[in-house]
Amino acid sequence: MTGRSPAPGPGAGLPVLITGCSSGIGRACALRLHRAGHAVYATARRPETLDELAALGIHTLALDVTDEESMATAVAKVEAAHGAVGALVNSAGYAMSGCIEEASMAEVREQFETNVYGLVRLSQLVLPAMRAHGGGTIVNISSIFGRYAVPGSGFYNATKHAVEALSDSLRNEVADFGVRVVLVEPGPVRTTRFGATYVANLRPVSRTYETFRRESAEYFEAIYTGSRRTLAGTFAIQSDDVARRVAKVVAKGARGSRPRARYPVGLLAHSTIALRRLAPDALFDHLFVRRLFPVPRGPRPRKQGDHR
């Protein structure tokens, strides 16, 4: 079944609910989809961060993806105005940094609550009305790190791998109801807030990874802010590059056509995903991960039987 997204409300475009609009990709999506004529509902934990969007005529709502009542209330408001959410853009998220050995399990749970469980619950909340209205689109903002993982980002990478798997499963569960589920997979995105959060999380825990933490902080700050040249930073994209792809996906949904399952965004995303698909693990680690990213350096492992 190929269904159209729910009909727009009076004088408005397709009703689009977007999470994580206080900055970065979510904010860029809100602006671009608003310019395209959609009825955009931009959300954030702190609605005061959305004042500039509200001044442009964008609907703004408080929505905390870790709070059940907050999510249910936001979805209910959109459905009250339009009957159903036409497109859900799951953009809220952050990157927990640090080595797996040193991680606080409370912080690991918080990372999954925000990046995975909130996305799942919002999808559950919008689906009944989408199905009743004959269709809709769910766009999940993933990452190239949903295809491979790098040192110091294991838990963030794990959440994006989870988003990829859940999207693949959900896509086939709801396809016959006219609901499209699409992954957007950006490469590194120039942003001050996301990068600042990542670097701030690299606080010292033990001396084992002290040098690695310092190198990682400098490296990722350079990528996200462009403060110095790095290979990955050279190919970093802008938030609006991602928003442009999201807008095209939403437009396809509004026309009732079926978009692809996933869209990498940026040259680095396309090239590294292709390399990951073709290269064996050891070769990928050697040619890409250990050359492009900082890795913890320890003493060379002794050969078996060497007791010197």
- ∠ Cα 49 51 55 (to 5°): 155
Token digits for 247?
A: 């807008």
For 265, phi then psi, to 5°, come to -125, 120
Cβ atoms of residues 250 and 141 within 8 Å: no
The CATH class of 15-292 is alpha beta
156 has catalytic annotation: yes
* pLDDT at site 216: 84
Catalytic residue among 41, 94, 148, 156: 156
Look at residue 10 and tell me whether its pLDDT is greater than 50.
no
Sign of CA pseudo-dihedral 44, 48, 52, 58: positive
- The label of the residue with tokens 């399952």 reads 261
Closest CA to 146 of 28, 240, 265: 265
**What is the pLDDT confidence band of residue 4, given thresholds at 50, 70 and 90?**
low
Ranges of each domain in the chain: 15-292
**What is the pLDDT confidence band of residue 144, given thresholds at 50, 70 and 90?**
very high
Instruction: Supply the pTM of this predicted model.
Output: 0.88
Q: pLDDT for 40-55, tens place per residue?
A: 999 999 999 999 999 9
Concatenating the DSSP letter of every residue in 78-98 gives HHHHHSS-SEEEE-------S
